[in-house]
Structure 1
Amino acid sequence: MHFSFPSRLRLLGLSVLFPVLASAQTTPPASAAPAPVAPTSPQWYLLDAQQDGGVMGVSVTRAYRELLQGKASTPVLVAVIDAGIDTAHADLRRVLWRNPREVAGNGLDDDKNGYVDDVYGWNFLGGADGRNINEEALEETRLLARLQPLYQGKTRTSVPAAKRAEYDLYLKVKKSYEAKVKENTEQLQQFAQAYAENKQGAEGLKQALGVERLDTATLRNPPTQNPELRQVTTGLYQTLIQTGFASLDDVLVEMQRGLQETKDQQQYGLNLKFNPRSIVGDRPDDLKQRDYGNRDAAGPDPMHGTHVAGIIGADRENNAGILGVAPNVQIMSVRAIPDGDERDKDVANAIRYAVDNGAQIINMSFGKYYSPQRPAVEEAIRYADTKGVLLIHSAGNENNNLDNTTQYPSPNFLNGQRIPNMITVGASSRLNDESLAADFSNYGKVQVDVFAPGNQIYSTLPGSKYGNLSGTSMAAPVVAGIAATLKSYFPQLTAAQLKRIILASAQPVHTKVRQPGSTKLVDFAELSRTGGIVNLYRAVQLAQQPAQ
């Protein structure tokens, strides 16, 4: 649903952090297990498994140091179809695309492309009066709101034959919607209880230790000799290291965000009466309409898009903040993804806008499970292919096997043909152990092309800040960054060649891992077509070979 964020609380797996506090009075202290090695860089995904202690990064730093140093690069334009980007971020300002043919703020369509003052990109979720959609309903909700008045209480035999396919869709959507309402109601209760218990436990532990912050340094060497407290702090320390959090306070912030997301889904995503589309003022069912939206490239909540943009191309030359994967990149903001499910019309128009304005690579960190206007999206994808544009799409975060469940945009066209200019990406974690496949990630031996780091990824956040987010949303821009790097140093490569090189150079991994969403152990290589994790070092080596 909406962005490819996992449910934060399910992702954290921390609802049982503090039952250990309750049992500490009766449980004898356990001997401290050796802590996992933490990478020195918060950007672990840039590291190399061979040279950096087995951290399962994509060898970006090594590729620049050993293969690309001193070589000339050319500018590459990457479009980020998302919720918007903070255009004032100190680590993004220099790398953002600026439309060279548009005069900012003059209220004119200087370049005659149909969009007035589109300096940084375009916003298909805004109205001409400057207002913007932030929250949206899920696609199941929108479909049920439309179909229920037509078919509620009817039997299939009572429906005209020409309408039975739509009636069947109504039954399918109704079942899916009711399941999500049930899940949301249960999660809201569980998450609220988990947050309250963990907050109370954290406050109790802070008092017992006499500290203000429960970070990894404090938990590793707690100011106490009490064996029960040391048992608790050891367990919490190991959990923080394994999940990539710097402190328990950060965990609580994430849990609070996850709780709010669950509330928002109830209030907006699953609300059959919620329809904010009038803000845009377009004709929602007119798939040929292009002239709507506004110039606001950031939108009301650019957190997700800002994080994605930083992964792809945060300034590598300003000696501050973080390093993007790609070196010589311009990032175009195309706002089409709300907090809720994106509309097919907006996705199709966003792809077309990006292509028409020169994007060579498009990052698409979003997805959903119903696509009522799928042909329009596929037509736009085919259009991108005719212009040589490569699309990078996140696989989604519901730990589904996409070989059995279709997520949209699908890797295949309606006719079954594989989309030649799209890569579908699952999310991996930092350690080469049972947790390597991120627990939330969708997967599929046929439908998912490759995996990339997507768990606890450190990148840019609005307000010139930085932080960790997780999701296949974070894995896709790692791949988009690799594609942009290859295109920058080897500009002759076509979209088809870029895709082939990225997939052929993925590092195969045969570690036994937990199949996402279960405790079942499977070969990591069985979770995607390539069986591997993208690797820039290997991709550059392959690109350097004479015949492509």
Structure 2
Amino acid sequence: MNKSRIFSALLSVALVSAVPTLANAQKANWQNLDLKSDSTFGISTEKAYKELLKGKKSVKVIVAVNDGGVEATHEDLKRIMWVNTKEIAGNGKDDDKNGYIDDINGWNFIGGPKESVNFETLELTRLVRRDQARFANTTDANVAEKDKKDFEIFKAERADLEKQLAEARENLAGITGFKTALDAVVKKIGKENPTVEDFKNFKPSTEVEGRIQNVLSQQLEKGSFKDFYEDQIVEGLDYYTRQVNYNLNLDYDPRAIVGDDPNNVKEKFYGNNDIAGPDAMHGTHVAGIIAADRTNKLGILGVADNVAIMGVRCTPNGDERDKDVANAIRYAVDNGAKVINMSFGKAYSWDKAIVNEAMKYAASKDVLIVQAAGNENKNIDVENNFPNHKDLDEKTIASWITVGASGPKDDETLKASFSNFGKTQVDVFAPGVQIYSTVPGSKYKNLDGTSMASPVVAGLAGLIRSYYPKLTAAQVKEIIVKSVTKVNHNVEYAKGEEPGAEKVSIPFSDLCISGGIVNTYNALKLAATYSGKAVAK
């Protein structure tokens, strides 16, 4: 997914003003708690297990995590990973004749014979690179009539790329300067992990040191120096370095690693069986939210208690390619997934049609797609976020649910500040702020994003399909949408991503089709009422 975590606020503190406070850490598993009994706007999963599911049987459902990689050996995931029993591990043969050799836990569509893609360009960069070659000698004066529309699109995309690259370079310089100044202050304090009191007692000798003191005195009221440094400084530096060197770099193209023809959308059999890849942070976190082992007394509790996680790697650190997205969907469908989580999205698309066809294919096979709405705080009814279903048939839309992110408090902050929204394009909201879940190395971490909200809903979908296996994908979506906890108050919306952006109050009902937050307890009660649909025996 296009990672839109914005560090400009942090940079402006270093140079101009003060940083907004970080989100307060919430208790682990808050997303599964109940608003009424726990005073936290979770989705009432624990209540459902206690009151509705105790003693009932279920069938195992495969949920595909189409993402950047899943650590199958994680202590909280290893028991619940999908295993392709038709393959013999490590024999170098395609035992089940599905076209993929040794696909034991899934497949990696951005891997090659020797390694896997980590960093990639944005789709915008690839489009500009393609059309830059096409229009190399073209000007407004000599452009052919038939090419005028495409040429105008190219110029607009090139301008967007140049703007983003300039901003990334400026932000990289800013956060590098902030880090240098902060490191110098820490050295003067003389402690590796200084406390808030250490910063308050520090005697600044320059204006910059005074600003550093001000920022850290605020930040460390709500967390440790180590967490602030890792989450804001190191992550911010890495983010803008990736943007400048890889995402927005016209000269960078890692696709040779895969060894396919990226322009041949009909090509399906490429990649490797390394479902973790070089960076499995995002996908591992997603997998844990869906189905982390609820029986092992370790770590966290996933939403679903009887699903198998299939890892399908198709998203790099950059923008996913439409060809890989389409093939990842088809692979998941053909290998038995009943729910597919897609916590990714982008502002531009190379070949939307090929993804549309894969979506239609999934719908025809009764597979539910669950997609993150995106993290740019924009209205995706009017602004593009791909994939989207703006030009698809009702049957496909009925098997596709798009998810925005909510916070833990039932007040004006309920909409996550970063979450995209849309009265026609977003179906529901779900918890996506400070979600504690699995990360590589059998560790755990809080992350924010619609990327975290989507697997909450994918886990719910898997849970419904597990206890009510006769329900169709379309019925499961209908149940999830109809059973939300309605939000009947206004929420805060910042009209822009920059610090100081004007905030307005809008009805939560304007943010999505359902006007509410998904609710496991309500959904399972509603599922039980659908005629002829009994709990699995």
TM-score by shorter chain over 0.5 = yes
What does residue 45 of structure 1 align with?
A: 31
**What is the CA distance between 1:238 and its match in structure 2?**
8.2
**What is the CA distance between 1:179 and its match in structure 2?**
2.2
1:248 to 214, 218, 225: 225
Task: Tell me, yes or no, if the aligned pair for 1:506 and 1:532 is still in contact at 8 Å.
Answer: yes
What does residue 82 of structure 1 align with?
A: 67
1:376 to 328, 339, 354: 354
How many Å separate the matches in 2 of 1:340 and 1:45?
A: 28
Instruction: Say if 1:38 and 1:376 are closer, same or farther in 2 by CA, change over 3 A.
Output: closer
Task: Tell me, yes or no, if the aligned pair for 1:412 and 1:419 is still in contact at 8 Å.
Answer: no
Instruction: Say if 1:415 and 1:488 are closer, same or farther in 2 by CA, change over 3 A.
Output: closer
Q: Which amino acid aligns with 1:109?
A: D
What does residue 119 of structure 1 align with?
A: 104
1:273 to 251, 257, 270: 251
Instruction: Say if 1:235 and 1:504 are closer, same or farther in 2 by CA, change over 3 A.
Output: farther
Instruction: Say if 1:372 and 1:17 are closer, same or farther in 2 by CA, change over 3 A.
Output: closer
What does residue 261 of structure 1 align with?
A: 239
**What is the CA distance between 1:169 and its match in structure 2?**
2.5
TM-score of the two chains, using structure 1 as the length reference: 0.86
What does residue 4 of structure 2 align with?
A: 6
Instruction: Say if 1:233 and 1:315 are closer, same or farther in 2 by CA, change over 3 A.
Output: farther
Identity of aligned residues (%): 47
What does residue 84 of structure 2 align with?
A: 99
What does residue 433 of structure 1 align with?
A: 411
How many Å separate the matches in 1 of 2:200 and 2:146?
A: 76
What does residue 444 of structure 1 align with?
A: 422
How many Å separate the matches in 1 of 2:224 and 2:138?
A: 55
Task: Tell me, yes or no, if the aligned pair for 2:294 and 2:301 is still in contact at 8 Å.
Answer: yes
Task: Tell me, yes or no, if the aligned pair for 1:5 and 1:470 is still in contact at 8 Å.
Answer: no
Unmatched tracts of structure 2, length 5 or more = 204-211
What does residue 25 of structure 1 align with?
A: none
**What is the CA distance between 1:180 and its match in structure 2?**
1.2
Instruction: Say if 1:15 and 1:203 are closer, same or farther in 2 by CA, change over 3 A.
Output: farther
Q: Deviations over 1:115-136 (max 9, x none)?
A: 0100011111111x23111101
Task: Tell me, yes or no, if the aligned pair for 2:363 and 2:395 is still in contact at 8 Å.
Answer: no
1:392 and 2:370 matched: yes
What does residue 318 of structure 2 align with?
A: 340
TM-score of the two chains, using structure 2 as the length reference: 0.88
Task: Tell me, yes or no, if the aligned pair for 2:71 and 2:276 is still in contact at 8 Å.
Answer: yes
Q: Which amino acid aligns with 2:236?
A: G
How many Å separate the matches in 2 of 1:20 and 1:173?
A: 32
**What is the CA distance between 1:37 and its match in structure 2?**
9.6
What does residue 354 of structure 1 align with?
A: 332
Task: Tell me, yes or no, if the aligned pair for 1:139 and 1:368 is still in contact at 8 Å.
Answer: yes
Q: Secondary structure at the match of 1:360?
A: strand
1:540 and 2:517 matched: no
What does residue 26 of structure 1 align with?
A: none
1:145 to 129, 132, 156: 129
Task: Tell me, yes or no, if the aligned pair for 1:48 and 1:62 is still in contact at 8 Å.
Answer: yes
CA-atom RMSD in angstroms: 3.1
Task: Tell me, yes or no, if the aligned pair for 1:425 and 1:449 is still in contact at 8 Å.
Answer: yes
How many Å separate the matches in 1 of 2:487 and 2:225?
A: 32
Instruction: Say if 1:461 and 1:15 are closer, same or farther in 2 by CA, change over 3 A.
Output: farther
Instruction: Say if 1:282 and 1:68 are closer, same or farther in 2 by CA, change over 3 A.
Output: same
Q: Which moved more, 1:337-346 or 1:190-199?
A: 190-199
What does residue 469 of structure 2 align with?
A: 491
How many Å separate the matches in 2 of 1:202 and 1:338?
A: 35
1:100-499 equivalences in 2 (<5 Å): 100-127=85-112, 129-152=113-136, 154-155=138-139, 158-196=142-180, 212=193, 214=195, 246-255=223-232, 256-413=234-391, 419-499=397-477
**What is the CA distance between 1:101 and its match in structure 2?**
0.3
Q: Deviations over 1:1-58 (max 9, x none)?
A: xx25431636x86964999999xxxxxxxxxxxxx9975x3221111111112x1211
Task: Tell me, yes or no, if the aligned pair for 1:6 and 1:471 is still in contact at 8 Å.
Answer: no
Instruction: Say if 1:522 and 1:203 are closer, same or farther in 2 by CA, change over 3 A.
Output: farther
Q: Which amino acid aligns with 1:322?
A: I
Instruction: Say if 1:156 and 1:323 are closer, same or farther in 2 by CA, change over 3 A.
Output: same
**What is the CA distance between 1:537 and its match in structure 2?**
1.2
Instruction: Say if 1:211 and 1:147 are closer, same or farther in 2 by CA, change over 3 A.
Output: closer
**What is the CA distance between 1:143 and its match in structure 2?**
0.8
How many Å separate the matches in 2 of 1:19 and 1:169?
A: 36
Q: Deviations over 1:330-350 (max 9, x none)?
A: 000101101011100000000
Task: Tell me, yes or no, if the aligned pair for 1:5 and 1:473 is still in contact at 8 Å.
Answer: no
Q: Which amino acid aligns with 1:444?
A: G
Task: Tell me, yes or no, if the aligned pair for 1:202 and 1:248 is still in contact at 8 Å.
Answer: no
Task: Tell me, yes or no, if the aligned pair for 2:64 and 2:332 is still in contact at 8 Å.
Answer: yes
How many Å separate the matches in 1 of 2:15 and 2:60?
A: 50
What does residue 31 of structure 1 align with?
A: none
Q: Deviations over 1:90-115 (max 9, x none)?
A: 11000000101000000100000000
What does residue 506 of structure 2 align with?
A: 522
Q: Secondary structure at the match of 1:522?
A: strand
Instruction: Say if 1:37 and 1:325 are closer, same or farther in 2 by CA, change over 3 A.
Output: same
Q: Which amino acid aligns with 1:132?
A: S
Task: Tell me, yes or no, if the aligned pair for 1:393 and 1:476 is still in contact at 8 Å.
Answer: yes
Instruction: Say if 1:110 and 1:170 are closer, same or farther in 2 by CA, change over 3 A.
Output: same
Q: Secondary structure at the match of 1:79?
A: strand
Q: Which moved more, 1:288-297 or 1:192-201?
A: 192-201
Instruction: Say if 1:492 and 1:414 are closer, same or farther in 2 by CA, change over 3 A.
Output: closer
Task: Tell me, yes or no, if the aligned pair for 1:126 and 1:133 is still in contact at 8 Å.
Answer: yes
1:24-35 equivalences in 2 (<5 Å): none
Unmatched tracts of structure 1, length 5 or more = 23-35
Instruction: Say if 1:182 and 1:415 are closer, same or farther in 2 by CA, change over 3 A.
Output: farther
Q: Deviations over 1:374-393 (max 9, x none)?
A: 11110011000010000011
Q: Secondary structure at the match of 1:50?
A: helix
How many Å separate the matches in 2 of 1:290 and 1:152?
A: 32
Q: Which amino acid aligns with 1:47?
A: L
Task: Tell me, yes or no, if the aligned pair for 2:18 and 2:214 is still in contact at 8 Å.
Answer: no
Q: Which moved more, 1:59-68 or 1:145-154?
A: 145-154
Instruction: Say if 1:288 and 1:70 are closer, same or farther in 2 by CA, change over 3 A.
Output: same
Q: Deviations over 1:441-491 (max 9, x none)?
A: 111122111111111110001010001111111111011001011111111
Q: Secondary structure at the match of 1:180?
A: helix
Task: Tell me, yes or no, if the aligned pair for 2:14 and 2:174 is still in contact at 8 Å.
Answer: no
Q: Which amino acid aligns with 1:420?
A: A
Q: Which moved more, 1:249-258 or 1:361-370?
A: 249-258
Q: Which amino acid aligns with 2:225?
A: L
Q: Secondary structure at the match of 1:460?
A: strand
How many Å separate the matches in 1 of 2:199 and 2:355?
A: 60
Q: Deviations over 1:166-201 (max 9, x none)?
A: 323312311221221122123223333444556666
Q: Which amino acid aligns with 2:487?
A: V
**What is the CA distance between 1:262 and its match in structure 2?**
1.0
Q: Which amino acid aligns with 2:224?
A: S
